[in-house]
Amino acid sequence: MPVTHMSRLFGRTLREAPADADSANHQLLLRSGLIVQLAAGVYSFLPPAWRTLLKIEQIIREEMEAAGSQELRMPAIQPRELWEESGRADSYGPVLFNLKDRRDRTMVLAPTHEESVTDLFRKIVQSYRDLPQSVFQMQTKFRDEPRPRGGLVRVREFIMKDAYTFDVDDDAFQLNYNAMRQAYYNIFERCGVSVVAVQADSGAIGGKQSEEFIFLTEIGEDNIVLCPSCGYAANQERAEFARGEGSGVEGDLEQVETPGVATIAGLAEFLGVPEQATAKAAFFLVDGEPTFAVIRGDLEVNELKLLNALDATEVRPLLPEEVEQAGWVAGYASPIGVDASRVVADPSVVDAGGLIAGANQVDSHLRNVTYGRDWSAATVADIGMAQSGDPCAQCGAALDMRRGIELGHIFKLGTRYTDPMEATFLDADGDRITPIMGCYGIGVERLMAAVVQSNHDDHGIIWPRSVAPFDVHIVPLGAGDEVAAAVANVESELSGSGLNVVTDDRNERAGVKFNDADLLGAPLRITIGARGLKQGQIELKLRRDSEASSVPLDGAITAAHEALASLSS
C-alpha cells in the first residue's frame, strides 16, 4: 500500500464548518476536506472520501456476489423512448435530466435502470432454463430533485448500487429477494451502520411490495413508525395503525348551530366532546377528480394512502375556490348528499356510529351522522396517517415515531416492467411467461454520510476500520533524524503489511496534527516523537479511545496490528 503524506494530500481541513452545513456528518465531511460542493446537490469527492467510497463499494460487491448476483454496467445516457415504453416518461418526468443529441434526439440521464435491464433481459433471455437471473451495477444516477438537501443525503448526481432479479414465478422470486435482504443486512453491518427494515411504499418505481432499510437518526427526512412491543416497522407513508375506540353515539340526525366554528378542535371544544366524536372532511384533487375524504376528527389523511386506495397517480389538496365549485362548504362540509362515487371513507368513520359532521352550510353541524344510514362511500379504505402514540395494528401497543434516512430499498416489482416491455420467456410447456422482477437499491454516498453520522465525536470522524480511508495515522513530532528514521521505518513496515497509512509530515505544531488526525478519523494513531524515542517508546491510540498507550519501538508493528485487530470492524 502506498503511504499518503499530509503535505501532499489533495484537500484541506477547515477549522470552521461552512455555514451551509447543518448535520454533523455534512459538517465533518466538509471540515475534514473530504467533499467539496460544486452546485446544489452536486459534490466532488476528494481522495480520502473516494477511498472510503471504493471500500464501501467493495463490501457491497462482495455481498452481492455472495447473494448470487453478477456485476455489469449499463448506460447512463438513454433514449427517452425507452422510458415511454415502460410508461414512466411522464410519471418520472420532472426528475429526469433531459438532453438532446446532435441529431436532435431526446435523451435522458438515467435516474435508475429498470427499463435498461428489462431491455437487456428481453434481448438475452429466451428460456426458463436461463432463469433465475440476478445482476447488479454501481453506477452514477442523475435525478433533478426538486430540493436537494442535507449534504449527501439528497443529491442530484450520485452512485447507486442497483440490482435486478428475474424469476419464473413468485416462489422463485422469494428466494432471490430473501438473499438480497440478507445481503443488505450484511452490508450495513459491515459498514458500521445499524438499520431497521421497514415496510414502505414503492413510489415511482412501482410494484407490489417494498422494504426500506432505514438508518434511524434525528436528521433523517423520513418518518418511521415503530412498534416497541411487536416490532412492527413501517414508513409513515404506509404505516397501519388501529383506530382505537371511537366516541360515536346512537341517535337521530340533529342539526346544531355552531357559529364561527370551522375547525375540529374548535368544534370539539364548542360542543364539549372529544375530537374522536367528530368526522373530518378533507378535499383533494385526485387524478383531476375532486374527492371528498372522510376520517375521524382526531386523525389526518395520508395522501399517499388515498392515492393508493383510488389506484391513482396524482393528488393535491383542493384549492378553496375548487371546494366551492364542487358545492362543498369548507369547515362545515357534510358527506350527506355527496355523490358516493366521489367519497372515500376511512374505517374510523365507518365503524364509529353517530359522529358530529358538517351540515354543508356555514355555522351549522349535524349530530349523529351515521355511515350506512345517512351516507355512504364508494371506497372504504385505510387513508389515515399514523402518528406517534397510535395503537399498533398488530398488537395494540403505542407506536413510536422516529426520523430516519433511507439507505436501501428493495422492491418486488412483479411484472410492472416485464409486461409493458414484453420481456418474456418460454416455459417447459412452450408457453410464453412474463418473469417476476425485483430491484434492490443502495445509495452509496448516502451510506457514507450515514457512516459518519453514526461514527463521530466532537473532534471528528471515527471511521470503522472496514471503510476507513486510512488505517493508521502517523504523527511525527520533532524534526530530528531519529524521529525521521523511526517514522520511515514504521510507515514502510505498516504499509508493507497491507495497511493504508497516512503520515503527517507537515511542519505543524503537535496540536494541529492531533486535531487533524482526530478530524480525519483513522482508527489508529501512532505518535512518534523525540521525547518518547529517548525511552525507545512510541505511542498508540485508537481513535475511539481517549487514552494513548506507550509501546517499545521494537514491538510497534505487532502492537499496531493487535490494536487494529481489537476493533470489531
Partner RNA sequence: CGGAGCGUGGCGCAGUUUGGUAGCGCACUUGACUGGGGGUCAAGAGGUCGCCGGUUCAAAUCCGGCCGCUCCGACCA
Q: Which of 3, 117, 131, 205 binds RNA (CB under 7 A)?
A: 205
Binders of RNA in range 29-58 (CB under 7 A): 37, 39-41
Q: What minimum distance in Å lies between the beta carbon of 150 and RNA?
A: 5
Contacts of RNA in 470-489 (CB under 7 A): 477-479
Give me the least distance between CB of 101 and RNA, in Å please: 23
Rg over alpha carbons for the chain, rounded to the nearest Å, is 30
Q: Residue 367 CB, nearest distance to RNA (Å)?
A: 32
Distances (CA, A) of 378 to 308, 310, 343: 15, 10, 6
Find residue 476's DSSP bridge partners: 528
Q: Which of 49, 66, 98 is nearest to 447 (CA)?
A: 49
Amino acid present at 63 = E
To the nearest 5 percent, what fractions of the chain are helix, strand and coil? 30, 30, 40
Told to check if 529 binds RNA by CB under 7 A, we report: yes
Residue 99 or 124: which CB sits closer to RNA? 99
User: How far is residue 551 from each of residues 205, 500, 539, 565, measured CA to CA in Å?
Assistant: 56, 21, 6, 16
Binders of RNA in range 47-106 (CB under 7 A): 94-95
The answer for residues whose C-beta is within 8 angstroms of residue 102's C-beta and 6 or more apart is none
461 scored as a contact of RNA (CB under 7 A) = no
Binding mask 145-174 for RNA (x = CB under 7 A): xxxxxxx--x---x-x--------------
C-alpha cell read off for 431: 408457453
Measured CA to CA, the distance from residue 369 to residue 358 in angstroms comes to 9
- CA–CA dist 134, 437 (Å, integer): 10
Size of the site for RNA (CB under 7 A): 72
Which of 196, 433, 510, 567 contacts RNA by CB under 7 A? 510
- Using CB under 7 A as the binding rule, the residues of this chain from 301 to 320 that contact RNA are 303-304, 315-316
Residue 107 pairs with which residues in a beta bridge?
A: 79, 99
Residues in 354-383 that interact with RNA by CB under 7 A: none
Can residue 541 be called a binding residue for RNA (CB under 7 A)? yes
State which residue, 26 or 367, has the beta carbon closest to RNA: 26
- Candidate residues 508, 557, 567, 569; the one interacting with RNA per rule CB under 7 A: 508
Closest approach of Cβ 529 to RNA, in Å? 2
Interface positions, 381-420, toward RNA (CB under 7 A)? 406, 409
Residue 164 CB, shortest distance to RNA, in Å, is: 13
Site string for RNA, 433-452 (x = CB under 7 A): --------xxx--x------
Burial class (CB in 10 A: 0-12, 13-18, 19+), 316: exposed
Cβ distance to RNA smaller for residue 369 or 551: 551
Is 272 a binding residue for RNA by CB under 7 A? The answer is: no
Q: Give the C-alpha separation, 315 to 201, whole Å.
A: 15
Q: Quick one: 24 or 268, whose CB is closer to RNA?
A: 24
Nearer to RNA, 198 or 467 (CB): 198
Furthest-apart CA atoms within the chain: distance in Å: 98
**How many Cα atoms sit within 13 Å of 371 on the Cβ side?**
23
Q: Which residue has the cell 397510535?
A: 390
Q: Does 531 bind RNA (CB under 7 A)?
A: yes
165 Cβ neighbours under 8 A, 6+ residues apart: 69, 132, 133, 134, 173, 176, 177, 180, 437, 438, 439, 440
If one asks whether residue 208 binds RNA (CB under 7 A), the answer comes out as no
Burial classification of residue 153, based on how many CB atoms lie within 10 Å of its CB (0-12 exposed, 13-18 middle, 19 or more buried): buried
CB of 41 to RNA, least distance (A): 6
Binding map of RNA across residues 4-23, x = CB under 7 A, - = no contact? --------xxxxxxxxx-x-
- Contacts to RNA from residues 313-352, by CB under 7 A: 315-316
